[in-house]
Chain A
Amino acid sequence: MQINKNSNGLLSIYFTAGYPTLNSTIEIAKTLEQSGVDFLEIGFPYSDPVADGPTIQHSSEVALKNGMTLKVLFDQLKDLRKHVKIPVYLMGYFNPVLQFGVENFCKACREVGVNGTIIPDLPIYEYEELYKPIFEENKISNIFLVTPQTSEERIRKIDSLTTNFIYLLSSNATTGKHLEVKNQSEDYFNRIKQMNLTNPFIIGFGISNKETFEKATAYANGAIVGTAFVKILAQNNPLRLIPDFIGDLKK
């Protein structure tokens, strides 16, 4: 599966690696693919996740207590491509990547077959100045975020740096706030659509159910569900709940 400008109604799911249990990562990924999810974002936990609301903060805390680290995650993902065919992105904060070594990180991503990364606190300037060649050598797409406050000039810049898709935030918010598609956000989504960007865009943050998923995908090539799915993982025996949760979203 390729995410491109003609993609329509793609569903991506975010979940935190190492949550609810240390070794649940691959099982969850497999079940999501079998349930019809189009691509995955696997979060690697950090002690200070400033862009996240309480649900994902909690999952990160539990994952860290369970012993999740980048090293453990890459070990778990060693046979990723035997089990999972859909695109997989790693999402997390910059400091663990810096300690792992940016080059080691990109190489490890490439070796296990990860398609790209989303590192919200690695800004464009630092990416370009310090790290872009390392990502490119390893063919790892680094995905940038756009918010309703991002200027047109900056969106164009992001579009030019992007090799995969642009991650459009539904609102200026931390994760887990409910999306309310008001006139304001419709204007914003339309504004982006009319910019005729080179890259496809996917809407994330605040997508929690069929209604918000449909609203988002009316404008974007796809949408990402994070917090609402992490809440499913908090329940008993979550794997059995996944097919229905995904089915309800895509019905």
Chain B
Amino acid sequence: MSKYQVNDKGYYGPFGGAYIPEMLYPNVEELQNRYLQIMEEPSFKEEFEQLLTDYVGRPSPLYHAQRLSKKYNARIFLKREDLNHTGAHKINNTIGQILLAERLGKKRIIAETGAGQHGVATATVCALKGLECVVYMGEIDIQRQAPNVARMKMMGATVVAAQSGSKTLKDATNEALRDWINNPVDTHYIIGSVVGPHPYPDLVARFQSIISKETKIQLLSKTGKSTPDVVMACVGGGSNAAGMFYHFLDDEDVKLIAVEAAGHGVHSGESAATTLLGKEGVLHGSRSILMQTTDGQVVEPYSISAGLDYPGIGPQHAWLFKSGRGKYVSATDDEAMQAGLELTKLEGIIPAIESSHALAYLQKMNFSGDETVVVCLSGRGDKDLDNYMKYFNL
């Protein structure tokens, strides 16, 4: 067993666990007891793989970005999760979890969403399977992300406004947990990131691990070697990074770079750079690193990217950070926006602003010319056009 993977008690080093009220215990225990066994069933594997191929459009290409490579003096490959159905890596997880929910006999699906990408990916798989879907979304995010709200509604989902607290992702997650407490028997909660009580961080990472599994095969055929020198991904809760890192964790020669959102600057008071600003704490059922006051109240983060403004990170990331296996860095709003525009001009690919954070760190890597680098392009920028238009006065 890898020392970077979850242990049988649900912990990554000191992080993880299931810090949940008793009301959630039966649901979480059922998942803990059954997720691995269900994921091993041949019928599950077959249906999962078939849907990833025919519905999501996997494998996603590993694209050698030549002009970008030239600019940064390295051989840079982009893992094109942006080409997946619904436009991001989120669908890998929701496909897996909907199949799991079916096998657990659940009739009703709930989810939280920030920018709406995970909400859309959840509404999509619920439409696919004909299951009831309720998505909790912060009242403020509903106003900011009208097209995604419309997409969810078109697919038959009910979008419920989270009106508590700061009315954003953190509060949408609280509302989803409250719904689950009040509906303890027939409901499955599809968490969108590698956060939450055990087994969610492991469960979601396993479903996202397809990203690095494919990358290894694709690298081997393109470069003759299945491991790169550097792997880079953005981190909010950390699901695309968890999937991108998964099969490289034990290849200690592979540098893992996780890029958090520094908003207006790490120490500006408007940032989501959790590992730099956070302390060990408990939120949404797991022990991890958390942005909080000295009194233990959770601080509302900020980033121009709605997918990265989460005040915590998944417990596996906290462990990779603390153990030194991963390097956790950050990029500001401005750096990310410039990197997004640069990729568009150099390669004709408009990235999601989340993914642009990973790209923004390329300039700080000072490559020597012969490194092989994989950047996870976790999502496409269509959803961010408004932001790009405003920022660059397009």
B283 in contact with A172 (CB, 8 Å): no
Question: Interface code A184-228, partner B: CB below 8 Å = 1, 0 otherwise?
Answer: 000000000000000000000000000000000000000000000
Contact call A123/B25, Cβ cutoff below 8 A: yes
Chain A residues lying within 8 Å of B23, measured Cβ to Cβ, are: 51, 145, 147, 149, 169, 172-174
CB–CB A50/B174 < 8 A: yes
Cβ of A94 within 8 Å of any chain B Cβ, yes or no, is: yes
On chain B, the residues within 8 Å of A144 by CB distance are: 22
Tell me if B292 counts as interface (CB < 8 A to partner A): yes
Instruction: Return A165 CB to nearest CB of chain B, in Å.
Output: 15
A61 to B284, CA, bound (A): 18
Is B363 among interface residues, defined by CB-CB distance under 8 A?
no
A93 to B279, CA, bound (A): 17
- Chain B, interface residues (CB within 8 Å), range: 35 or more
- Residues of B near A154 (CB, < 8 A) are 25
- Residues from chain B with a CB closer than 8 A to the CB of A30 are none
Q: Assess whether B18 is interfacial by the CB under 8 Å rule.
A: yes
CA distance A173 to B180 in the complex (A): 9
Q: Name the distance in Å between A37's Cβ and chain B's nearest Cβ.
A: 25
Chain B residues contacting A47 (CB-CB under 8 Å) are 165, 297-298
- Does B285 reach chain A (CB closer than 8 Å)? yes
Query: CB < 8 Å: which of A125, A151, A172 contacts B182?
Result: A172
Within B280-310, the residues touching A (CB, 8 Å) are: 280-285, 290, 292, 294-298
How many whole Å from A162's CB to the nearest CB in chain B?
A: 13
Chain B contacts for A131, CB-based, 8 A: none
Interface residue tally for chain A (C-beta within 8 Å): 41
* A172 x B181 contact (CB < 8 A): yes
Q: Report if A94-B22 is in contact (Cβ < 8 Å); known contacts: A64-B297, A69-B295, A173-B182.
A: no
Chain A residues near B79 (CB-CB < 8 A): none
Kindly specify which of A3-11, A76-84, A95-103 makes contact with the partner chain. Answer: A95-103
**CB distance B165 to A123 under 8 Å?**
no
- In this complex, the member of A54, A95, A144 whose beta carbon has the largest number of chain B beta carbons within 10 angstroms is A95
Q: Are B19 and A126 in contact (CB under 8 A)?
A: yes
Q: Can you list 27 A-B pairs, Cβ within 8 angstroms, ordered by A?
A: A46-B296, A47-B165, A47-B297, A48-B298, A50-B177, A54-B164, A57-B164, A69-B295, A94-B282, A95-B281, A95-B282, A95-B298, A96-B296, A97-B296, A99-B279, A99-B296, A100-B295, A100-B296, A120-B21, A122-B19, A126-B17, A147-B25, A147-B184, A149-B23, A149-B185, A172-B184, A173-B181
- Give the B-binding residues of A (Cβ under 8 A): 46-51, 53-54, 57, 61, 64, 69-71, 93-100, 120-123, 125-126, 144-147, 149-151, 154, 169, 172-174, 177
Closest 3 CB pairs of A and B: A99-B296, A96-B296, A120-B21
- Using CB atoms and an 8 Å cutoff, list the residues of chain B in contact with chain A: 9, 17-23, 25-26, 164-165, 170-171, 174, 177-178, 181-182, 184-185, 279-285, 290, 292, 294-298
